[in-house]
Amino acid sequence: MPLVILSGLPTSGKTTRAQELKTFFETRLAAQAQAQDDSAPKTKDYRIHIVNDESLNLNKHVSYNTAADEKKARGALMSAVERLLSKDDIVIVDSLNYIKGFRYQLYCVARAIGTPHCVVFCACIPDRARAWNKESGAYPETIFEELLVRFEEPDSRTRWDSPLFVMVPEDKLPEDEIWDSVILKKAKPPNMSTVVKVVKETNYLYEFDQTTQNVIQAILDAQKSGDPTKQIKAPLSSILLQLPPTRVVTLSELRRLRRQFTSINKMHTLLDMTRVAEGFVEYLNQNLNA
């Protein structure tokens, strides 16, 4: 069942929306089961989960203090989503989800198991969110202001932020539209960077590491040679790698993206190293040019 990703400024009403969504799904699923004919197959008993800082015992005054603390908090959130999400579970991610790269990772998790997803953006003007934060004391003022500056608003033109539902605090939940998008809609098939097929290769992890490292080396070599096309033919990949036209990609950035790609796929094996290379190239194209 679907993954519902909430996104918004700190104290913009995400938890309220998460509870509304949970109540809506419970009510609609119960009504659907009750309306079934006795001779019809019984509706599944879907489980509904809300994953947020509170459910993971994360303290907002500590978890967003430093970049390292934030990374740990996002790691805990991702682990919880990966553990709970299945075709029999609805997972509502009630968190800031303010980094587009992290929303892309969540999207990849949903795609990998073949379940739909959507993004609910709780739109709120900064002054209003600031006033609510001051009233609730949810975030220290300095942390609130830093998160405000770093927030990357969802964009419906990107596939990981689509379908996107934008709501201000006064709006009613678009129940029918959300239901149609994530319950009735058939999930897209996994793409090369998310598909999971188990194969028996004793040296898979070693080959995976070497294949992704070779892609990175091809990028570094092309940048050293001053390739004006900014398009690279990476080893084993038939997909061209498109570098950003206006900047040099650093080794640290490539290593970070490689770790993310490895983390997404470490529990599974792809069909062969060609698919690993092409999946990594797709992942780099999406993140380097976002």
The CA distance from 48 to 26, in Å, is 8
- From residue 212, alpha-carbon distances to 172, 269, 278, 281, 284 in Å are 46, 14, 10, 9, 11
The CA distance from 54 to 290, in Å, is 31
What is residue 200's predicted lDDT score, i.e. its pLDDT? 44
- Whether the full predicted model's pTM is greater than 0.75, yes or no, is no
Amino acid at 16: T
What is residue 86's predicted lDDT score, i.e. its pLDDT? 87
**Percentage of the chain surpassing pLDDT 70?**
87
What is residue 268's predicted lDDT score, i.e. its pLDDT? 56
pLDDT in tens, 153-194: 999 988 899 999 999 999 999 999 999 999 888 766 655 555
208 or 141: whose pLDDT is higher? Answer: 141
Q: 44 pLDDT exceeds 70?
A: no
pLDDT in tens, 54-87: 999 999 999 999 888 998 999 999 999 999 998 8
Q: Where are the domains of the chain?
A: 3-189, 202-288
Q: 196 pLDDT exceeds 60?
A: no
Mean predicted confidence (pLDDT) in 108-128:
92
pLDDT in tens, 237-255: 888 898 888 888 898 899 9
Backbone angles phi, psi at 289, to 5 degrees: -110, 15
* Mean pLDDT value across the chain: 86
Q: 146 pLDDT exceeds 90?
A: yes
Mean predicted confidence (pLDDT) in 122-149:
94
CATH fold for the domain made of 3-189 = Rossmann fold (3.40.50)
What is residue 188's predicted lDDT score, i.e. its pLDDT? 63
Nearest to 221 by CA among 246, 243, 193: 243
Mean predicted confidence (pLDDT) in 257-285:
79
Give yes or no for a contact between 3 and 81, defined as CB atoms under 8 angstroms apart: yes
Amino acid at 246: T
Q: Out of 87-91, 99-103, 194-198, 235-239, which region has the weakest mean confidence (pLDDT)?
A: 194-198
Place of tokens 């459910």: 55
149 or 245: whose pLDDT is higher? Answer: 149
